[in-house]
Structure 1
Amino acid sequence: MKISSNFDAGSIEIVSADNYEDIQLRIRRDNAADFAQWFYFRVQGAAYQHCTFNFLNAGESAYPDGWIDYQAVASYDRINWFRVPTHYENGVMTIDHVPLSGSIYYAYFEPYSYDQHLNLIGQAQGSGLCQVSDLGFTVQQRDINLLTIGHEVESDLKIWIIARQHPGETMAEWFIEGLLNRLLDPQDPTSRALLDRATFYVVPNMNPDGSVLGNLRTNAAGANLNREWANPSAETSPEVLAVRNKMQETGVDLFLDIHGDENIPYVFLAGTEGVPSWNGRLEALADQFRHHLLLASPDYQTEHGYPRNAPGKANMTIATNWVCENFGCLAFTLEMPFKDNANLPDDDFGWSGQRSLRLGEAALSPIYAIAQNLRA
């Protein structure tokens, strides 16, 4: 038996792999920070063997409650991913599985590789409706690309959507793929109507360094990008600095920041009610958006999520709060589960890349529904 992780986003530490029924592993921390939750590795030579993978430090991970009712994902071809039996007890997370082939991959969630990311950008540009521009470099000198879709006239609404500030939240880029598929479809009437009045600015992956490194939450310098928006640094958070500068150039009428949540088994929105400038207009817009997203996707719900911030108590280093306060616009963090969606469970696949993609498609409907009200 051989266990390896020396590939894009691969991450695991091997303690012992001498016994199929007691394979001992540790979840590796981010390369320059203490967050540990993401894992992605390959197993060879274990076909038809009952394998028990024990993650010894799961109880010391960034979100230990995230292992409760969690099921890991596996794939033989890295295209089709399925859930495998997983349980958590006494600080150890365990996968029990019998591989049916000589090579299999296990991961925290369905990966979205850097090659997929580059292909997504290329396909978007190939539609003829999208312009790709370069905003700068990451810490490790990877490109920070922006997709601009629309006429870019001054009267257009400026809609910004970013994803994967936290690189291990791969469902966020699956969401972007779905959104782009629909937005760039010339036969979709909602997309055509939106692009008559709005320009979209989309950053499919805010953190390509962390994605390639197999990090959960930080970039190559150890910065949690979603805590850098008040004062980004060219040295440690150039990704945020570049995007923030471009926002100040274009303006923002609506902002969506796409994420995944380790603990909560639901799709939900987190608003910006705690920013100093929150008012009745933004409250009404937020209610309208939630209402229309409920109509667009049964995967979304409003009962479960983060507690609402008290007035004036928002963390202004978070992207949505900073954007809302600086542009006076509606801003949401959209969260999807690493676990299954408890409202619509799927025993075979759980919450998946495809379900994230479908939610991305559905998200255009509430944007269209409230577009005429986005500007005061």
Structure 2
Amino acid sequence: MFYQQLIKGLYSVNTADISSPFGRFTWRVVGRHPCGWGSCALFARLHLLVTSNPSSCAAARRRLGNGPSASLSCVRLYERMMEESSREHLDTDNEAGGEDALVGNVNKLMITPPGYTGPPKKGHVIFDACFESGNLGRVDYISEFEFDLFIRPDTCNPRFRVWFNFTVENVRETQRVIFNIVNFSKTKSLYRDGMSPVVKSTSRPKWQRLPAKNVYYYRCPDHRRNYVMSFAFCFDREDDVYQFAYCYPYTYSRLQHYLASLERRNLDYLQREQLGLSVQQRRLDLLTITNPAHLNQEQEKRVVFLTARVHPGESPASFICQGVIDFLVSQHPIAQVLRDHVIFKIVPMLNPDGVYLGNYRCSLMGFDLNRHWQDPSPWAHPTLHAVKQLIVQMNQDPKVSLEFYIDVHAHSTMMNGFMYGNVFEEEERVQRQAVFPRLLCQNAPDFSLSSTTFNRDLVKAGTGRRFLGGLLDDTSYCYTLEVSFYSYLTAGSTSPVPYTEDGYMKLGRNVARTFLDYYKLNNLIDESKHTGHINSSSDGTSTSHQGNNPGNGKVKGDRKPRDY
């Protein structure tokens, strides 16, 4: 179909021959999209028009969500939009970055003073975001020392402008600059509380946060009183390429290398499979971690399901997910006990296209996937559709008890790790759902029980937590696990402790450990034996633990827990 050919990025040649309802067209490629999905002239124009017009954008997404037959509708929509654009001049000075910035990232863009016509010199800095997970849409020269930077909006959705990730080179030693990020789509930000961007360079490849004293977050009268984040920086090595990002990047390629390294270990308790493909044909990976005997027996199976990176800019979620995986595949005695009694299903990256493209919240086609759990389209939301199908299939299997679903995110305005849970009418179910966060709080000093809340907000109805909380039976627990982009406060501390990559992974390891506490507390794993005997008590009744109400440990349908 016409639009499918465009959207899937089949633009690796200099010209693109596209069949459409109006005949066969040859479109000249006007520049490959920096993130690899191409930009033939037609698609670039369509993308620009859609992202410049929120109402048209919504209409396009509604049509696209109906499946491949929407292609003809999209072509007609494009035709009408082209007619409209011929009558109405687009505002190229808007805060989203203007016409050029909306189409793609800057590509080795050298910034020189206005009117300068001489040869390039050291100190004429070169900006680039044409790499995986890169994002920088436009750069304006203010002075020799100051530059306004515009975040490229999420593809096909102008609402979200938060994630940035770009490089700077051709600098002078001791050159001082001020970078102003001027078009954030959010007003509330942890930059108000001391958060700072991260930086690395070719000679110092480990990410580190900029000093908070060099970062300012304020309303700027020069930019319609929008909030601006400015940071000062001094380049110290001329031959280095410097990279700046909103938070520690965790790319699709990094995940693939990590999973490949796990496969090379030939662990009999780890299986990796391709659950599906994204719109751009990237892998949707599913890991199964358990004693292999569980997969072949007919007894009941307890399943913990974990997903991450449905929002691509929330990179801390990937570090937490890797921490969970690292712990579960380790030789730690707790990990061995868990593998003997629980099947862990993990989808480390639900939105691989969005991650690859450098989006903050949306997929390639501009969808916030975490609002489409109720009715995901196999064409517009293929990764979400595949995961939902798997969960529904497990839920319908009488031999499977899907006991936990945890979706991992990062939060841009709050400290610490914390959880969101669902609200139910039955008081016993409410109390049981509070147990796991309480146990996690005892294991993880950076987890905040006071920030953990249970709600049924209508705007969250399409999220995984809300949808699956209604789909699964009352012995299942569905949570959103959030972690701060910035820092955490521990009991008795007076100043926040900034998260590092290792800090996020440590929280993931603590999440994994907490499952043993939960199952021991509910008499499902024998505390006295680290061989991990399943307790086969008839009612699954648990005892109290440090004043918490643990709830019960019954599996689906009140079946008795037993060895499997």
Q: Does the alignment reach a TM-score above 0.5?
A: yes
Change (3 A) 1:161 1:20: farther
Structure-2 change in CA distance of 1:19 and 1:346 (3 Å)? farther
CA–CA separation in structure 1 for the residues paired with 2:137 and 2:494:
31
Partner residue in 1 for 2:198? 73
The answer to whether the 8 A contact 2:446-2:489 is kept is no
SS in structure 2 opposite 1:148?
Answer: strand
Residue 17 of structure 1 and its aligned partner are, at CA, apart by 4.3
Q: By how many angstroms is 1:279 displaced?
A: 3.0
Structure-1 residue corresponding to 2:503: 355
2:479 corresponds to which of 307, 332, 346: 332
* One-letter amino acid matched to 1:114: Y
1:82-231 to structure 2, matched below 5 A, reads 82-84=208-210, 85-90=214-219, 91-101=227-237, 102-127=240-265, 128=267, 129-150=269-290, 151-152=294-295, 153=297, 154-185=299-330, 187-231=331-375
Deviation at 1:175, TM superposition (A): 0.7
Residue identity opposite 1:290 in structure 2: P
1:208-287 equivalences under 5 Å are: 208-251=352-395, 252-273=402-423, 279-287=426-434
CA contact (8 A) 1:38 1:215 kept: yes
Aligned letter for 2:366? G
Aligned AA for 2:329? Answer: L
Cα 1:293–1:133 change in 2 (3 A) is same
Q: Which stretch has the larger CA shift, 9-18 or 223-232? A: 9-18
Deviation at 1:113, TM superposition (A): 1.6
**Pairwise CA distance, 1:22:** 0.8
- Shift in alpha-carbon separation, 1:342–1:28, aligned structure 2, 3 A: farther
Which shifted more, 72-81 or 201-210? 72-81
Report the CA distance shift for 1:236/1:45 in structure 2 as closer, same or farther (over 3 A). Answer: same
Q: Distance in 2 between matches of 1:63 and 1:123?
A: 40
- Counterpart of 2:477, as a letter, is L
Deviation, structure 1 residue 18: 6.9
Q: Secondary structure at the match of 1:322?
A: helix
For the pair shown, the structure with the greater C-alpha radius of gyration is: 2
CA distance in 1, matches of 2:494, 2:178: 25
Structure 2 distance, partners of 1:284, 1:50, is 56
C-alpha change, 1:240 and 1:302, in structure 2 (3 Å) is same
Offset from partner CA, 1:96-142 (integer Å, 9 cap, x none): 11133331110000001222110122133334121111121111111
Partner Cα separation in structure 2 for residue 278 and residue 241 of structure 1: 29
Measure, in 2, the Cα distance between the counterparts of 1:266 and 1:324. Answer: 24
1:195–1:21 CA distance, 2 compared to 1 (3 A): same
Q: Paired residue for 2:435?
A: 288
Superposition RMSD on alpha carbons, in Å? 2.1
Could you list the per-position Cα deviations for residues 77-100 of structure 1 after superposition, in whole angstroms to 9, with x for gaps in the alignment? 484111113211112110111133
**Structure 1 residues 103, 135: CA separation in 2 closer, same or farther (over 3 Å shift)?**
same
Cα separation, partners in 2 of 1:42 and 1:313, compared to 1, 3 Å: closer
Q: CA separation in 1, counterparts of 2:319 and 2:236?
A: 27
Whether 2:201 is the aligned partner of 1:54: answer no
Partner-residue secondary structure (3-state), 1:271? strand
Greater RCO, 1 or 2 (C-alpha within 8 Å, sep 6+): 1
- The residue identity in structure 1 corresponding to 2:506 is R
Cα contact 2:313–2:355 (8 A) shared by 1: yes
Aligned CA distance change for structure 1 residues 352 and 17 (closer, same or farther; 3 Å) = farther
Alpha-carbon spacing, 1:293–1:201, altered in 2? closer, same or farther (3 Å): same
3-state SS of 1:80 partner? strand
* Contact 2:329/2:335 (<8 A) preserved: yes
TM-score (norm 2): 0.62
Match in the other structure for 1:301: 448
Alignment gaps of 5+ in structure 2: 1-124, 220-226, 396-401, 525-552, 559-564
2:136–2:151 Cα contact (<8 Å) kept: yes
Match of 2:463 in 1: 318
- Contact 1:292 1:365 (8 Å CA) reproduced: no
Letter in 2 for 1:74: V
1-structure distance, mates of 2:187, 2:338 = 38
Shift, 1:245, TM fit: 0.5
Hey, what's the Cα distance between the residues in 1 that align with 2:428 and 2:285?
33
SS in 2 for 1:200: strand
The structure-2 alpha-carbon separation of the partners of 1:234 and 1:298, relative to structure 1 and needing over 3 Å to count, comes to: same
**Are the structure 2 counterparts of residues 12 and 342 from structure 1 closer, same or farther at C-alpha, using a change threshold of 3 Å?**
farther
Cα 1:115–1:278 change in 2 (3 A) is farther
CA contact (8 A) 1:171 1:352 kept: no
- Is 1:26 aligned with 2:150? yes
Could you tell me which amino acid in structure 2 is paired with residue 146 of structure 1? L
Q: 231-240 vs 281-290, which deviates more?
A: 281-290
Q: Which moved more, 1:11-20 or 1:205-214?
A: 11-20
Contact 1:159 1:253 in 2 (8 A): yes
